[in-house]
């Protein structure tokens, strides 16, 4: 592993180059591989961050030839440098493989040995499961039985397995998945991807908090009034109805992306920027979230489903009208929650989380609203006239941040108004932002688990949310008449259900603490 430092425009940039890796992608004929993984790997290659002895093997059940496999990828890769692209494609190979056939894994092992024979260095192995989660209990044991994922006591060369969400559908299934994984793998070998953690602005939360003395001293209940974390999508379920209707927004977005961002915003400072120290603090934070009272769940959490609507004059179908969605589905497409963290730092501060599909625009942001000054020294201005300072971290589509403060406006002697201090990654650095998968794949090849989810964090999140899922299920079957578990509705293209807006305007309630 080599490290280079780059001083540019006053910035200290460090990046590690991985050793030689053999990356095996299961599900190589699928959309995730074509649209995300291969473009990210190609960009790493263009940046000089893919070792010259690294190779990529695609595996899938599709009976494709090598030529067909490469042809299916070309449309997703930049062809601005044809020679460089061809050189990258020479690193790729494809195997038709049945996931439950041990002899096919023997063929894969033989293919890997033939690649190893081409290079002088010993290759680390990275197995990426770009498959439905239902195949994890098939592929992971097969990798172990074939010896492909077995490490020696030193862990060098390493054998890592990368998993995409979902990591279970409730606490019981998550614990079963975890037991299955640890029958074949050690925790150090398991990389659970949440692609939101690879986004620049999400990573920047740590830099903003812990590299600037002006923020961390006021990052607590004495100065912060409330925090909002929002993830809105303008699209509907598209072609994912089969998966989505069995999952819903609480499982698909809230349990992983939303709680992961919350943990970074609210956790205590880790002792160092290192995987286990950082993930220890994330787990502590998730465990400190106050469980929601099921008997009054509607006062703390809203679920809703989109109906017909429109955006810019274009008619949009409701969720029940989407292809492959059951006519009587009760699956939620929107979730809003008011959470509290029971520790010294955040006592009494509400955290508002909302995420939904078919909303008016695509937006992901974290907004930290600070308290007003305790007293106004300006005789003509009541304290009620002063606005709150707000720090907004824009995660997507335009990554950056803004700080809204009170400042003197030109004109009269006493003229106070909002001033926005704004920063945009695109405007500041000019180049296209790297995709989150570039960061995460590079970290996988480096053996760095800092931005990956640990099993105890998953269990803590499911422990918080499983009672809610169970209450919804019982309520939908009319077995829990006392639960305020109503499924609300909102128009496609709107800002969401009215009940959620009411929830978000109640933050000053005396009952919040």
Instruction: Give the three-state DSSP class for 360.
Output: coil
Confidence band of 319 (pLDDT split at 50, 70, 90)? very high
Taking the domains of the chain in order of start, what are their residue ranges?
2-164, 197-512
Give percent above pLDDT 90 in the chain.
57
Confidence band, pLDDT 50/70/90 cuts, at residue 4:
very low
CATH for the 197-512 domain, from 3.30.70.590, 3.30.360.10, 3.40.50.720, 3.40.50.880? 3.30.360.10
- Of 63-72, 283-292, 371-380, minimum mean pLDDT range: 371-380
Which of 51, 125, 257, 300 is an active site residue?
257
Residue from 235, 233, 276 nearest 258 by CA: 233
Residue range 124-167, pLDDT digits in tens: 999 999 998 999 999 999 999 999 999 877 667 899 999 998 89
Q: Is 40 exposed, middle or buried (0-12, 13-18, 19+ CB in 10 A)?
A: buried
Place of tokens 């460089």: 84
- What is the topology classification, in CATH, of domain 2-164? Rossmann fold (3.40.50)
What band does 225 get if pLDDT is binned at 50, 70 and 90? very high
Active site residue 257: yes
The two tokens of residue 243 are 């998966």
Local structure of 352: helix, strand or coil: strand
| Concatenated DSSP letters of 85-147 | HHHHHTTEEEEE--TT-HHHHHHHHHHHHHHHTT-SSPPEEEEEE-S-GGGHHHHHHHHHHTT
Distance CA 311, CA 308 (A): 11
Q: DSSP secondary structure string, 406-443?
A: EEEPSSSSS-EEEEEEEEEHHHHH-SPPPPHHHHHHHH
Closest CA to 69 of 131, 41, 98, 27: 27
Answer left, alpha or beta for residue 400, where phi above 0 means left and psi between -120 and 50 means alpha.
Answer: left
Query: For residue 442, what are the contacts with CB-CB under 8 A and spacing of at least 6?
Result: 18, 44, 49
């Amino acid at each position: 592993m080599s490290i280079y430092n780059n001083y540019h425009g006053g910035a200290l940039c460090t990046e590690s180059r991985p050793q030689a890796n053999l990356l095996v992608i299961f599900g190589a004929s699928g959309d995730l591989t074509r649209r995300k993984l291969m473009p990210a790997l190609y960009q790493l290659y263009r940046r000089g961050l893919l070792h010259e002895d690294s190779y990529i093997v695609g595996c899938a059940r599709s009976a494709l030839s090598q030529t067909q496999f490469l042809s299916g990828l070309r449309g997703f890769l930049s062809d601005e440098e044809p020679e460089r692209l061809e050189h990258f494609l020479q690193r790729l190979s494809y195997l038709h493989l049945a996931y439950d056939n041990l002899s096919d894994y023997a063929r894969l092992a033989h293919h890997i040995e033939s690649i190893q024979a081409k290079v002088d260095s010993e290759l680390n192995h990275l197995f990426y499961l770009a498959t439905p989660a239902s195949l994890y209990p098939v592929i992971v044991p097969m990798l172990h039985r074939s010896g492909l994922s077995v490490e020696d006591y030193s862990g060098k060369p390493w054998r890592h397995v990368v998993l995409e969400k979902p990591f279970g559908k409730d606490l019981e299934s998550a614990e079963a998945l975890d037991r299955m994984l640890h029958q074949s793998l050690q925790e150090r070998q398991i990389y659970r991807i949440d692609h939101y953690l690879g986004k620049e602005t999400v990573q920047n939360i740590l830099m903003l908090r812990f590299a600037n003395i002006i923020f961390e001293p006021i990052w607590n209940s004495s100065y912060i009034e409330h925090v909002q974390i929002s993830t809105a999508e303008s699209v509907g379920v598209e072609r994912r109805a089969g998966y989505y209707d069995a999952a819903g927004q609480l499982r698909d977005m809230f349990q992983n992306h939303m709680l992961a961002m919350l943990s970074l915003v609210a956790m205590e400072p880790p002792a160092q920027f290192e995987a286990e120290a950082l993930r220890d603090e994330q787990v502590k934070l998730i465990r400190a979230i106050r469980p929601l009272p099921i008997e009054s769940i509607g006062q703390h959490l809203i679920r809703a489903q989109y109906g017909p609507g429109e955006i810019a004059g274009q008619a949009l179908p409701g969720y029940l009208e989407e292809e492959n969605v059951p006519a009587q589905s009760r699956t939620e497409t929107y979730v809003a929650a008011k959470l509290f963290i029971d520790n010294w730092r955040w006592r009494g501060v509400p955290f508002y989380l909302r995420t939904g599909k078919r909303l008016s625009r695509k937006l992901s942001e974290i907004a930290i609203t600070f308290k007003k000054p305790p007293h106004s020294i300006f005789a003509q201005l009541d304290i009620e006239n002063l606005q709150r300072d707000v720090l907004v971290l824009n995660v997507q589509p335009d990554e950056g941040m803004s700080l809204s403060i009170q400042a003197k406006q030109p004109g009269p002697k006493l003229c106070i108004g909002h001033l926005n201090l704004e920063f945009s990654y695109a405007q500041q650095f000019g180049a296209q932002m790297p995709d989150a998968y570039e960061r995460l794949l590079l970290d996988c090849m480096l053996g760095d688990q800092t931005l990956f989810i640990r099993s105890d964090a998953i269990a803590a999140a499911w422990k918080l949310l499983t009672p809610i899922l169970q209450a919804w299920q019982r309520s939908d079957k009319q077995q829990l008449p006392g639960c305020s578990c109503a499924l609300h509705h909102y128009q496609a293209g709107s800002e969401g259900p009215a009940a959620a807006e009411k929830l978000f305007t109640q933050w000053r309630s005396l009952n919040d603490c």
